[in-house]
Amino acid sequence: MKVSVIIPSYKDPLLQKTIDSLLENSELGERLEVIAVLDGYWPNPPLLFSEEHNKRVRQVHLGKNRGMRGAINAGVSVAKGEFIMRTDEHCVFDSGYDRKLTERFRDNWIVYPKRYYLDPVKWMNGENPIMDKEPNIYNKLIIDKSRNKFSGVNWKSREKGREHKIIDDSMAMQGSCWIMKRSWWDAVIKELDSEHYGTHYGDSHEMVFKTWQAGGRLMVHKGTWHAHKHRDFPRSHNYGEKEARPGWDYSLALWGDYYRDTIKPLWNI
């Protein structure tokens, strides 16, 4: 198995279409598996696939709702691939995304694809769902002083003069789609911490800080893309800022000095 795609899922009506997009645009064939982690619920209607595609999809049902981090950990625990890829349950993918993302890959990288924005209403109606907006490529990691938390913000100015770099260093990622070697997960990430960070947010920051401390790099692959549901459309969970606040505070307390003393000077920001 080359790539295991893990989808943490909670009551999202676009899960079926996301899996269909993964399978239809794959170039790895049977070397790709899709693991839908059903976080304490059963899809209604049930997921349905052709006989060929059904062999490549695994459904992991969690007896109770653990949240996004717990669902990702559960998916990784049963994954068979050399690469671990995670995606949200409301995404469309470029043709050959899996082949492109795994080429020219180094052991200590986390890679995310260029990100477009998706209109789920148009997608459900059979229309082209990709919105007419410039894609997100680079992201800068900042401390948002107004909310006292780490944030990744669109780093448009970094694009200038770097057009020739198909795979390039970035400081932050949204977290809706990423890929890494399973060996890197096992050695460095190990698991996502729900106890201290909370069950939903900040997974990308946790992984990137761990990766930097271990001598690794976060990379953006501009040669392929995914489209993720735009933030103007509703989410399927009710995990808001009040619930996220303790995890945001923990992350800032844990990594704040490292960010200010090491990361900011390294990136000259």
* Half-sphere exposure (Cβ direction) of 249: Cα atoms closer than 13 Å: 6
For 3-34, the pLDDT digits (tens) are 999 999 999 999 999 999 999 999 999 999 99
pLDDT of residue 14: 96
pTM confidence score: 0.96
Side chain identity, residue 124: M
Q: Which homologous superfamily does the CATH classification assign to the domain defined by 3-267?
A: Spore Coat Polysaccharide Biosynthesis Protein SpsA; Chain A (3.90.550.10)
Q: What is the pLDDT of residue 238?
A: 73
Residue 30, Cβ neighbours under 10 Å: how many? 11
Outline where the chain has alpha helix (H). Answer: 15-24, 51-54, 68-78, 97-102, 120-124, 182-184, 194-197, 203-213, 241-258, 264-267
Burial 31-66 (b: 16+ CB within 10 A, else e): bbbbbbbbbeeebeeebeeeeebeebbbebebeeeb
pLDDT value of position 204: 96
pLDDT < 50: residue spans in the chain = none
- In angstroms, the CA 267 to CA 59 distance is 41
User: Which pLDDT score is estimated for 237?
Assistant: 74
Cα separation, 38 vs 77, in Å, equals: 14
Task: Provide the pLDDT for residue 106.
Answer: 98
Q: Over the stretch 53-80, which tens digit does the pLDDT of each residue have?
A: 889 999 999 999 999 999 999 999 999 9
Q: Find the length of the chain.
A: 269
Cβ–Cβ under 8 Å, residues 242 and 193? no
The two structure tokens encoding residue 219: 């990379």
